[in-house]
Amino acid sequence: MHGLAMIVALVGGGSFKATAAQEDRTEVKRALVEQLRAPEATRRRDALLALSTFSDPTLLPLFQTAAQDSEASVRAAAIMALGQLAPIKEPAGLGEVIPLLVRAVRDPHPLVRRAAAWALGRVPDPRAKSALREAARDSDAAVRAAAVEALGEHRDAAALLERLQDKDAFVRRQAARALGQLRAQAAVAPLIARLGREK
């Protein structure tokens, strides 16, 4: 079975039978959009993940709506889909998305906060950097690690230097890696000091 047909068959639980010969992107997309109304959260989540592969800015309103879903896994998938669109959407068109992503950094569920940190790493906007600095202090280490990686994308050496002191070893390693990729002169001495303490 061809890629898109397989996605639809998996997401639709077999209810949508597509063959490689019949495959039509518009029909596949329509079927996936229908799955966003499914009562099962896993079907809504999987449909969002599949729709995000289309890189279609016209899906933005659907992703924004799904980001308000009652299920955390669906909200996280919607946030990831918005992050997928960020590099292809005109910066002016992201204006309405950025506040949503910033709010998602404060979501009660760490899965959503982690997705928001990843998505904000793909958004070239000062509001994203501010929200990522907040996420880098999250109570959940996986959220902090995602925020650190995203801060590297924003080239925020000051915030990364702060995370070299994180209580979690993985977060510290992520910060060190991101600083190394930035080749920031100000990071050399703190990195050497951190290496000495990690041994």
Q: pTM (2 decimals)?
A: 0.81
Q: Contact at 8 Å (CB) between 78 and 63? A: yes
Q: What is the pLDDT of residue 196?
A: 60
* C-alpha radius of gyration, the chain, whole number: 19
Ranges of each domain in the chain: 36-157
Q: Count Cβ atoms below 10 Å from residue 28 Cβ, excluding itself.
A: 22
d(CA 190, CA 8): 49
What pLDDT, on a 0 to 100 scale, did the predictor assign at position 197?
64
| pLDDT tens-digit profile, the chain (199 residues) | 444 444 455 455 544 444 443 467 889 999 999 999 999 999 999 999 999 998 888 899 999 999 999 999 999 999 999 998 877 656 556 678 899 999 999 999 999 999 999 999 998 888 999 999 999 999 999 999 999 999 999 999 999 999 999 999 999 999 999 998 988 766 666 666 665 666 5
Q: Which CATH code of 3.40.50.510, 1.25.10.10, 3.50.50.60, 3.30.365.10 fits the domain covering 36-157?
A: 1.25.10.10
The three-state (H, E, C) secondary structure of 117-160, written as one string: HHHHCCCCCHHHHHHHHHHCCCCCHHHHHHHHHHHHHCCCHHHH
- Degrees (nearest 5) of the Cα angle 159, 163, 169? 160
